[in-house]
Amino acid sequence: MTAPRRDPHLGELASAFADDALDPTTRDRVLVHLAHCVECRAEVEGHRQVKARLARLAPPPCPDSLLERLRALPECTPTERATPELPPVRLEASFRSVAPAGRPVSGRRPISVAPGRRRPSGRRPGGARPAGRRLRRSVVATAVGGVAAFALSLGTVVVLGGDQPTSTVNPPVLTYIKEHGAVTSGVPGGDREASVVDVADTDE
């Protein structure tokens, strides 16, 4: 039976170690690994040099108005005050390959972050989201919007197909009686006089 291949080196833990962002237990294990691994020592040294160089850079110019606004901010936001203390996030180290035998191994990426630390350990460089998730969100938004537009179009058609407001009609019955008499006077005995009398009787 062959054990799965694992990364024998620190990987991202090297950066966290250089930032001094590891909990004491993980840090001890990293130190043990560094004692035997030249490559990882070099990588950690490289991270430290980059950090030192960045620290020596002059701060970017900041507009006075921004400084004023920043000074005007309260020390902590209401959201932070309301946020309870979170338990420490346990992230398993990738150097588990170098951990003592018999320790359970997880495929997940490794790192433990001490409470209070804000190390964005699981994020991709630059904070970019995975392309698959972005595509999925786009598809869902398109589908929802399409269905909404579809429903809106059909609703408009149904509303347009309803009864249109029509004018109220009050039939001019007296006029109608006269017109009836005028057109149908040719019946035997003559009935046009009746239409005249009927209109006069109604008028009174």
Beta-carbon contacts of residue 160 (< 8 Å; ≥ 6 apart): none
We find the least distance from the C-beta atom of residue 7 to another protein, in angstroms, to be 30
Q: How many CB atoms within 10 Å of residue 16?
A: 26
Q: Which two tokens stand for residue 134?
A: 């972005």
Q: Give yes or no for residue 2 binding another protein (CB under 8 A).
A: no
Round to whole Å and give the CA distance between 121 and 113. Answer: 8
Q: Give yes or no for residue 183 binding another protein (CB under 8 A).
A: yes
Q: Give yes or no for residue 139 binding another protein (CB under 8 A).
A: no
We find the least distance from the C-beta atom of residue 125 to another protein, in angstroms, to be 13
Round to whole Å and give the CA distance between 133 and 81. Answer: 32
Q: Give yes or no for residue 106 binding another protein (CB under 8 A).
A: no
Give the total of residues touching another protein (CB under 8 A). Answer: 59
Q: Give yes or no for residue 120 binding another protein (CB under 8 A).
A: no
Task: Give the CA radius of gyration of the chain.
Answer: 43
Cα distance between the two ends of the chain: 116
- Binding residue (CB under 8 A) for another protein from 31, 32, 42, 196: 196
Cβ-based nearer residue to another protein, 102 or 132 = 132
User: Which region among 32-40, 43-51, 87-95, 142-150 touches another protein (by CB under 8 A)?
Assistant: 142-150
Candidates 30, 8, 9; CA nearest to 18 is 30
User: Which region among 3-11, 22-30, 37-45, 153-161 touches another protein (by CB under 8 A)?
Assistant: 153-161
